[in-house]
Homo-oligomer: A and B are copies of this chain.
Amino acid sequence: MNKRYFWEDFAAGSVREFGATTVTREAILAFAGQFDPQPFHLDEEAAKHSLFKGLCASGWHTAAMTMRMMCDEYLLDAASLGSPGLENIRWKKPVYPGDTLSVRMEILESRPMASRPQVGLVRSSWTVLNQHAEPVMTMEGWAMFSRREPAVGENPG
């Protein structure tokens, strides 16, 4: 595979900050209309009277925008083998029209995959921040990447 990033490039403790996605009202309405038509994502007046005090993006929209920032930053150029899932998704603050989101990714843990010497596992945490550096969403999860140099004669862990 002719990729730039392999398992070795995601070392435990490393931090990567990236992305700048400005969220438009039109994008909020388009996503919500298709996938999450709750009044506080679609109707300014109803949203004013909700817990959120104003029209805000679906939490799934924020997750999807985060995925796009990950793709653009490293995933599309990585020997990525996907993710089995995620933990601890938290929506911490509403995302409003005009907000600009970015991502702070920290590698929590990295280890070879016991059963496949050409694959490594990485556990990351992602914090999505708005333009005031306030976390709006956090999550954690494992991902699999091909190794640049597959283990040879390594004792499977």
B63:A60 contact, CB within 8 angstroms = yes
With an 8 Å Cβ cutoff, the count of chain A residues facing the other chain is 31
A35:B88 contact, CB within 8 angstroms = no
The quantity of this chain's copies bound in the complex is: 2
Interface of chain A: mostly helix, strand, loop or mixed: mixed
Q: Which residues of B contact A87 (CB under 8 A)?
A: 87-89
Stretch in contact with the other chain, from A75-83, A107-115, A127-135: A75-83
Given contacts A63-B60, A63-B63, whether A37 and B84 have CB atoms under 8 Å apart is: no
CB distance from A70 to the nearest CB of B (A): 9
CA distance A34 to B51 in the complex (A): 29
- Bitwise, A23-61 to B at CB < 8 A (1) or not (0) is 000000001001111100000000000010000001110
CB distance from A119 to the nearest CB of B (A): 11
New A-B contacts (11) at CB < 8 Å, excluding given A35-B64, A51-B82, A82-B91: A31-B64, A35-B67, A35-B68, A36-B64, A37-B68, A37-B76, A38-B80, A85-B91, A87-B87, A87-B88, A89-B89
